[in-house]
Amino acid sequence: MSHNLQSTMATCGIKVAATSLSSTREAVRAVRAELGNERFQHVIAFFSIEHDPQQLVAEFNEAFPEIPLSGCSTAGEFGPLGMMQGGIVVIAFPERGFRVLSEAIPDATAPGLERATQIARRLKIQASDGHNRGVMGQLFALMLTDGLSNKEEALTAAVHWGLDNIELIGGSAGDGLAFQRTALVHNGRIVRASALLFLIESAYPFRVFKTQNFEPTPIKLVVTAANTENRIVYELNAEPAAREYAAAIGLMPNELGPFSFASYPLVVKIGGDYYCRSIRNMNPDGSLSFFCAIDEGLVFTVARPRDMVKSTLDTLDRVDRELGGTDLIIGFDCILRRLDAESRQVRRNVDEIYRRFGVTGFHTYGEQYNAMHLNQTLTGVAFGKSSVGA
């Protein structure tokens, strides 16, 4: 098997292929050959923005005629080849054992949010005739969101409202660390949408999960001036934002960057738990742009990471025990977790854990978990090896 192409087939029938080939045409052809000639119900692709989306879609439509293709651009990919940048990872759902329903959600303006709830409800109703297809499993929802829309919180809440008791996981599309353009693909065409929503029925047991690896410190930073619509904080504790944040973590403002943002995340307390509101970048005027929604008066707590390797392994071990063995995991991992793993020189360890449990997915600009939009988290769905009732 080529060092820049690898595939796996899970017991449940889902096939995964990954390639690091730089030529889009060669990459798609290689993936098609690796997956074989069987028909699939739906193919989901996670791809680097280094592959031109228009060409990528054209190549996929030629390689997978009559098979719906959806997906998004990434801030990095992971799968059978481990962690990649510049690659393509494809998840192919078989015709038996699963049922995949999907729809694109339009721009998340106020009417768009109402439409998001309606779409979620409509897909849920469509799924209610699953017994006619012989799939006797349960449902989960998967959402791919435009990571530059600045609407993920409202969108996730609106979709979760429509789904009611169906669990939701997902990730926000990225473009490396450029923060300039993302791409969403639905049913073989590039769409101008805020998100793609999939409702997936599985004949195999699954567990939706999240894991994070940080703990709060006593240091508090209050947002005293901000542009909430664009997620920009100008002042913390009535001081220039970058300067105050740098002082809080013991650095100079000119030392700030993606690795320091990953190593010292800011968190907020919601319902007794802490959730990351991670910094995306420092702007020339000393303000800070965020991956998540912010508001004036918001109280941040400076956090420090715990052992990422241990926390990730503990979570996946627990899920593995609950399922009686993990077959495959579709995961959405914050880009800041990867950067933090690199800065602490544990990326190889995390990579090995992902390979061991068959974690396939992409590095995101944010993660969705039920009603929450998160940062610096790994969310995912893990499948067991035996079908329901087997």
Q: Residue 386's pLDDT band (boundaries 50, 70, 90)?
A: confident
In this prediction, residue 136 carries a pLDDT of 47
**pLDDT tens digits, 23-49:** 999 999 999 999 988 889 999 999 999
Mean pLDDT, rounded, for 254-259: 93
pLDDT band at 110 (very low <50, low <70, confident <90, very high): low
| pLDDT number for residue 337 | 94
Q: What was the pLDDT predicted at 128?
A: 82
Count CB neighbours of 66 within 10 A. 7
* Dist. CA 91–CA 166, nearest whole Å: 22
Does residue 98 have a pLDDT over 60?
Answer: yes
Percent of the chain at pLDDT > 70 equals 95
More reliable by pLDDT, 109 or 88: 88
Average pLDDT score over residue span 125-151:
79
> What is the percent of the chain where pLDDT is above 90?
81
Distances in whole angstroms, Cα of residue 115 to Cα of each of 83, 119, 120 = 36, 6, 9
At 191, phi and psi to the nearest 5?
Answer: -120, 145
- 60 or 275, which is more confident? 60
Structure-model confidence comparison of residues 252 and 272, the more confident one: 252
The whole-number average pLDDT for the span 195-217 is 94
Give me the residue label for tokens 């029925």.
201
Give the model's confidence band at 388: pLDDT under 50 very low, under 70 low, under 90 confident, else very high. low
Q: What is the pLDDT of residue 132?
A: 47
CB 65: neighbour CB atoms within 10 A? 8
pLDDT value, residue 390: 47
User: Could you please report the per-residue DSSP string of 366-382?
Assistant: -EEETTEEESSEEEEEE
How many other C-beta atoms can be found within 10 angstroms of the C-beta atom of residue 170? 28
Mean predicted confidence (pLDDT) in 274-289: 93
For residue 156, the model assigns a pLDDT of: 94
Per-chain mean pLDDT for the chain: 92
Residue 382: its pLDDT value, please?
A: 97
H/E run at residue 350: helix 347-357
- Cβ density class 284-305: b for 16+ within 10 Å, e for less: eebbbbbbbbbeeebebbbbeb
Nearest to 55 by CA among 79, 22, 78, 84: 22
Q: Is the separation of the CB atoms in 69 and 100 below 8 Å?
A: no
Bridge-partner residues for 191, per DSSP? 184
- pLDDT at residue 130 tops 70: no
pLDDT at residue 387, rounded to an integer: 65
Question: What CA dihedral angle connects 42, 46, 48 and 51, to 10 degrees?
Answer: 0
More confident residue, 315 or 306: 315
Res. 134: pLDDT tops 90: no
Q: What does the buried/exposed string (b/e) look like for 1-35 if buried means 16 or more CB atoms within 10 Å of the residue's CB? A: eeebbbbbebebbbbbbbbbbeebeebbbbbbebb
Q: Give yes or no for a contact between 92 and 16, defined as CB atoms under 8 angstroms apart.
A: yes
Range scoring the smallest mean pLDDT among 101-115, 141-155, 255-269, 274-288 = 101-115
Q: What is the pLDDT of residue 129?
A: 72
In degrees and rounded to multiples of 5, residue 82 shows phi and psi of 80, -160
pLDDT digits (tens, 9 = 90+) for 72-87: 999 999 999 999 999 9
Q: Residue ranges of the domains in the chain?
A: 1-212+306-390, 214-305
Predicted local confidence at residue 290, as pLDDT:
95
Tens digit of each residue's pLDDT (9 = 90 or more) over 317-371: 999 999 999 999 999 999 999 999 998 999 999 999 999 999 999 999 999 999 9
pTM for the whole structure = 0.91
Write down the pLDDT at residue 3.
67
307: DSSP letter:
-
